[in-house]
Structure 1
Amino acid sequence: MKRQTLFICYSLFIGINVIGQELPKILTQKPVTNYLPDFSYAGYHFGESQIPEVSGKIINATDFGLKANDGLDDSKALLKAVKAANAVEGNVILQLPAGKIILSDILYIERSNFVLRGTGSGENGTEIYFPRPMMYLKDPESLAELREYLTTFDKRQREPENNIDLPFSQYAWSGGFIWTQIPGERVKSYLDKYEPTPSFLAKVSSGNMGEHTIIASEVKGLKVGDIVELQLFNKDGENGEIITDLYKGAKVKPGSHHWKFPKLPIVRQQVEIVKISGSKITIKTPLTIAIKPSYQAQLVEWKHLNEVGIEHIRFTFPDIPRVAHHVEPGNNAIFLTRVFNSWVKDVTITNADSGILGEEISNVTIQDIVTDGNHMAHYTVTLGGVHNVLVKNLKIYNKAVHPLSFNTFATKNVYQNCEIFADPVLDQHSGANHQNLFDNITVHLMPDNNNSYALFGGGGADYWKPSHGPFSTFWNLNVQITNAEKITKPVLLYGMKDGPFARIIGVNGNAKFEVKYDPDAYIEFLNTPMDKVPSLYDYQLKKRLKK
């Protein structure tokens, strides 16, 4: 038995590396002393079904005047084709031709059972080219509250050393040329005065973290099969009990947004109702935190689209100069909002400010995605305000501020089998995000002059700190050092200062590593290959489906 001492800021964790050990102890512990969330419900149909090859009525965009490769703008023809597709009952596929299509307007997908399909994301497939960013379009009505928020609070990017003092763009983290939405439905909360009165379905008084049963009263019209939103609130100010529970008493300092917006649910999950028996309601997915009466939890209606797909397309933007962080002009490809049991697959995105943005979505699979180009991106595929989303087989060749990022209110989401080739950062972006999984991720990096690398990012504003809540998990992190033959001592991977109770299992690669992650991280299988369980998501899903 070989004993290694692992260095963690302000604390020491002793890891045991046993040759031939089949499973990490965190999987076999009895009784459970280190909680590990079940991430297996992420993805399309809770991971229980593959993305379908949809059949249905095909609307060919070429029938509405679209001509690929003619050098002319195709926006009007595409909008006509979308309108025709919307008139179809049942499954509809809007089929795009091979070749280069030019789009300078937003295509809104506003109905269920809709697939936007190209002929492939490669050279001979379908390319949608965007000649100018969204800043030159008419301001989207659905971003009016965001625009007011940015001006009311004078949100600006200030970099005196670079002579930059510029207002934030409404497109820094929102909007996209392909945009799913329910018209008139607010997607993200910014100002209390616009907080709607939700369609109340039940009051929830109790439930345990990791379990599926909640106790409810005042049930109104709720039925088995409904997809609804569970909301938990902090109505008790800076010392609210839910803040302590959310961060499990960790030595972190929660920012003011945890109590300044009492109308805003601080924890939310989209849940499927499986069973109703008197006051007991069973939901399909486990609770991320316990529910107590003071949280004034409730089930409310959640309006959403179902079975929306975007597939087999390449999105290309011109390589424009980058001005500064948060002032991006809006070269954003896809903005997913208000979708459930939906997908994006086989998509390549070149020179985007943000490739795929998600907000207020659940049980979506985003797979076989490539981002590339010379342009420095803000995000590649990012998850904010979303639940149970699976991002699978994402290859990132371009540089990005946040290559992989779990953002505000993100819970139980998974990046799986992803690879970052340029300046990798595994970011968790503040805002009560908790219990997300980086699973079987490969990163390519070069250590700095101190033989270290800031791999673990904790972005976001101070008013939403800490960077994440308990039980964020890193599983089988494969680190490839570009100059490994010159490395003679362990490389220090660091960067997180306020991410409590993380689970870091299986950091390995072509060198030896140390990990510094604060506070109170659980670290196991350091410098040990994860041959037996390379993917925690797959392991948990297989185990659940066998029951």
Structure 2
Amino acid sequence: MKNIKKYLLAAGVLALTSVVNGQESALWNEFKAAQTSNKVAELPDFSYAGYHHGEKGIPDVTHQVFNVSDYGAVPNDGKSDKEAIRKTVAAAVKNGSGIVFFPKGRFLVNEDDDDQKPIVIKGNNIVFKGSGSGPDGTELYMKNYLPAKDPKKLWTCPYMFQFTGGGAEKVLAEVTQSAHRGSFELKVNDASKIKAGDWVVVRVKNNAPDLIEHEMCGCHVDKAWTSLLNKGVYVNEYHQVKSVKGKKLVLKEPLMRHVNAKHEWNILSYAHYEEVGVEDLAFIGNWQDDFVHHKDYIHDGGYSLLKFSRLANSWIRNCRFDDVNRVVSVSLSSNVSVLNCLVTGTPGHNSVSSSSSTRVLVGILDDQSSQWHAPGVSGASIGSVFWRVKYNEDTSFETHASQPRASLFDCVEGGFFLGRGGGARHNLPNHLEHLILWNYKELGEPETDFEFWSSKTWFWKIIPPIVVGFHGAGTTFKEDQIKVLESLGTPVNPESLYEAQLELRLGKLPQWLIDIKK
């Protein structure tokens, strides 16, 4: 590996002072300086993650209320409420917006006589709202698992509740000039089909050898990684257009990855819905077995509860998930916030996952269930932030291969060990450039010379990450596999990189963030 940099604490009094007060991060100072020097900082800017770029809080919407009780749902009566919920959803969607409201009590969504199909919600401005996620609130209970589309493909179990956009993506323009990471501008051959306010996809899919070499940052490419070698480097960033000036697009958010025009980057339309929410609900599965990874489709995904797909500026908040195999998937989405949620019950497969999405914010999440894969990323996700997330010492974060990039684990507390990343061999590496662990507090037993590019197994390969303020159990790292190592064993200031970057951009912390931390 090459181009490895290390920032190490000095010994003696400085190190002692850092334990008490926390030393200001050198990387953070470099990031601040880069904002006025027109240089590309080592740290990407994660401050645009989440609902409306973190600039405003999730709203308490005032849409027309569609009460499931008015459409035939009766809590606690032992009868299925599935069709009544579907009728309520249909009425809200037809209206163009609506709050699908659930009173207190348990509603049954997949009983013996039900059709064993998911509940699918397609529309803008649709909010599922319960009467609280605690024991005396609203529970949506899934008695029976949903069968896999193909039992031999263990990942094909559908999620019970699917909020999804749809439609075709069309190529709108070709990128004609390279742009560095952090830039807000892209020059294209024709901007006539794009206007201010549009959402677009910035995409490349190319297996040019020099592009693969650049992506690997000096690391060896295994011949078994056929997805990367044959299909190529795949970047899929969602952006909203701020303005169009001739053939120049000005984006609302900075690029999270360098764009080299010679590799045929395109601008596509983005088929999606917006302002979709789920809040104040408990999603209860019926998963009771001892979990065995990849035993069958039931273990891997039978009780999968909530999926967001092709959504922007949407949210999940104040929810509880109990006895499930897969908790939440945020797929092909942008600027989704998952905040103040609790995961409990029997250990299953996946927790909250950002899958091929852009700038997802998962924050104030307490995962007590010891899912096999703790919260994390998969697919071509970019700009994901896991902020003040907690999970148990017997699990570790997900890095599920298929080209995730630029993921921030910020003030995370939980287990840390090889083997829970995930991903088929042909889809490796597990994570590409800019995996960042910031003030990560490790629970459990320490390891010596921990490897991010394992010499012992094929299934743990991560491009050298940035590790700052890693502390807790006492793990040390094989330092030639880390791009930046700063303040090992001692947290740094700022405590939270996401908060610090957001405050630097906005001038102050937004009130929603102050309130949720109380």
Task: Give the TM-score category using the shorter length.
Answer: 0.7 to 0.9
For residues 384 and 405 of structure 2, the distance between their equivalents in structure 1, rounded to whole angstroms, comes to 9
For residues 499 and 252 of structure 1, the distance between their equivalents in structure 2, rounded to whole angstroms, comes to 12
**Structure 1 285/250 Cα, relative in aligned 2: closer, same or farther at 3 Å?**
farther
Q: Which residue of 2 aligns with 1:302?
A: 270
Q: Is 1:24 aligned to 2:36, yes or no?
A: no
Q: Is 1:469 aligned to 2:429, yes or no?
A: no
Q: Which protein is richer in strand relative to its size?
A: 1
Q: Which residue of 2 aligns with 1:439?
A: 410
Q: Which residue of 2 aligns with 1:143?
A: none
Q: Is 1:103 aligned to 2:109, yes or no?
A: yes
Contact 1:271/1:284 (8 A) holds in 2: yes
Contact 1:439/1:476 (8 A) holds in 2: yes
Secondary structure of 2:282's aligned partner: strand
Following TM superposition, by how much is the alpha carbon of 1:455 offset from its aligned partner in structure 2, in angstroms?
5.4
Which residue, 504, 507, 511 being the options, matches 1:543?
504
Task: Map 1:365-376 to 2 at 5 A.
Answer: 365-374=337-346, 376=347
**Structure 1 431/382 Cα, relative in aligned 2: closer, same or farther at 3 Å?**
same
Following TM superposition, by how much is the alpha carbon of 1:496 offset from its aligned partner in structure 2, in angstroms?
2.3
**Structure 1 231/34 Cα, relative in aligned 2: closer, same or farther at 3 Å?**
closer
Measured on the aligned residues, the alpha-carbon RMSD in Å equals: 2.6
Which residue, 507, 513, 517 being the options, matches 2:470?
507
What letter matches 2:79 in structure 1?
L
Q: Which residue of 1 aligns with 2:487?
A: 525
Contact 1:15/1:525 (8 A) holds in 2: yes
**Structure 1 343/33 Cα, relative in aligned 2: closer, same or farther at 3 Å?**
closer
What letter matches 1:342 in structure 2?
S
For residues 386 and 263 of structure 2, the distance between their equivalents in structure 1, rounded to whole angstroms, comes to 30
Contact 2:5/2:483 (8 A) holds in 1: no
**Structure 1 201/242 Cα, relative in aligned 2: closer, same or farther at 3 Å?**
same
For residues 480 and 396 of structure 2, the distance between their equivalents in structure 1, rounded to whole angstroms, comes to 16
**Structure 1 536/323 Cα, relative in aligned 2: closer, same or farther at 3 Å?**
closer
For residues 250 and 211 of structure 1, the distance between their equivalents in structure 2, rounded to whole angstroms, comes to 26
**Structure 1 257/396 Cα, relative in aligned 2: closer, same or farther at 3 Å?**
same
Following TM superposition, by how much is the alpha carbon of 1:49 offset from its aligned partner in structure 2, in angstroms?
1.1
For residues 95 and 397 of structure 2, the distance between their equivalents in structure 1, rounded to whole angstroms, comes to 42
For residues 366 and 381 of structure 2, the distance between their equivalents in structure 1, rounded to whole angstroms, comes to 21
Q: Which residue of 2 aligns with 1:180?
A: 163
Following TM superposition, by how much is the alpha carbon of 1:52 offset from its aligned partner in structure 2, in angstroms?
0.8
What letter matches 1:283 in structure 2?
L
For residues 22 and 495 of structure 1, the distance between their equivalents in structure 2, rounded to whole angstroms, comes to 26
Contact 1:474/1:505 (8 A) holds in 2: yes
Q: Is 1:242 aligned to 2:205, yes or no?
A: no
**Structure 1 288/69 Cα, relative in aligned 2: closer, same or farther at 3 Å?**
same
For residues 500 and 77 of structure 1, the distance between their equivalents in structure 2, rounded to whole angstroms, comes to 49
Task: Map 1:211-250 to 2 at 5 A.
Answer: 211-234=183-206, 236=208, 239=209, 241-250=210-219
The total of aligned residue pairs comes to 475
For residues 311 and 66 of structure 1, the distance between their equivalents in structure 2, rounded to whole angstroms, comes to 19
List per-residue Cα deviations over 1:95-119 (Å, max 9, x = no partner).
Answer: 0110111001422110000100100
Provide the TM-score with structure 2 as the length reference: 0.85
Task: Map 1:191-206 to 2 at 5 A.
Answer: 198-205=169-176, 206=178
Q: Is 1:389 aligned to 2:360, yes or no?
A: yes
Contact 1:496/1:517 (8 A) holds in 2: no
Task: Map 1:6-85 to 2 at 5 A.
Answer: 13=6, 15-17=8-10, 18=14, 19-20=17-18, 22-29=23-30, 35-85=42-92
Contact 1:479/1:507 (8 A) holds in 2: yes
Secondary structure of 1:504's aligned partner: strand
For residues 213 and 226 of structure 1, the distance between their equivalents in structure 2, rounded to whole angstroms, comes to 15
Following TM superposition, by how much is the alpha carbon of 1:430 offset from its aligned partner in structure 2, in angstroms?
1.4
What letter matches 2:99 in structure 1?
I
Q: Which residue of 2 aligns with 1:353?
A: 325
Following TM superposition, by how much is the alpha carbon of 1:398 offset from its aligned partner in structure 2, in angstroms?
1.2
Q: Which residue of 2 aligns with 1:258?
A: 228
Task: Map 1:407-486 to 2 at 5 A.
Answer: 407-443=378-414, 454=417, 457-481=420-444
Following TM superposition, by how much is the alpha carbon of 1:422 offset from its aligned partner in structure 2, in angstroms?
4.5
Task: Map 1:70-219 to 2 at 5 A.
Answer: 70-89=77-96, 91-104=97-110, 105-135=117-147, 147=150, 167-171=152-156, 175-183=158-166, 185=167, 198-205=169-176, 206-219=178-191
Provide the TM-score with structure 1 as the length reference: 0.81
For residues 55 and 47 of structure 2, the distance between their equivalents in structure 1, rounded to whole angstroms, comes to 9
Give identity over the alignment, percent: 25
**Structure 1 282/33 Cα, relative in aligned 2: closer, same or farther at 3 Å?**
closer
For residues 51 and 399 of structure 1, the distance between their equivalents in structure 2, rounded to whole angstroms, comes to 28
**Structure 1 119/517 Cα, relative in aligned 2: closer, same or farther at 3 Å?**
farther
Secondary structure of 1:368's aligned partner: strand
**Structure 1 14/225 Cα, relative in aligned 2: closer, same or farther at 3 Å?**
closer
**Structure 1 492/396 Cα, relative in aligned 2: closer, same or farther at 3 Å?**
farther
| Unpaired segments ≥5 residues, structure 1 | 1-7, 140-146, 148-165, 186-195, 446-452, 483-489
For residues 124 and 480 of structure 2, the distance between their equivalents in structure 1, rounded to whole angstroms, comes to 43
Secondary structure of 2:62's aligned partner: coil
Secondary structure of 1:527's aligned partner: coil
Q: Is 1:336 aligned to 2:308, yes or no?
A: yes
**Structure 1 106/522 Cα, relative in aligned 2: closer, same or farther at 3 Å?**
same
| Unpaired segments ≥5 residues, structure 2 | 111-116, 454-460, 509-518
Secondary structure of 1:260's aligned partner: helix
Contact 2:271/2:310 (8 A) holds in 1: yes
Contact 1:331/1:353 (8 A) holds in 2: yes
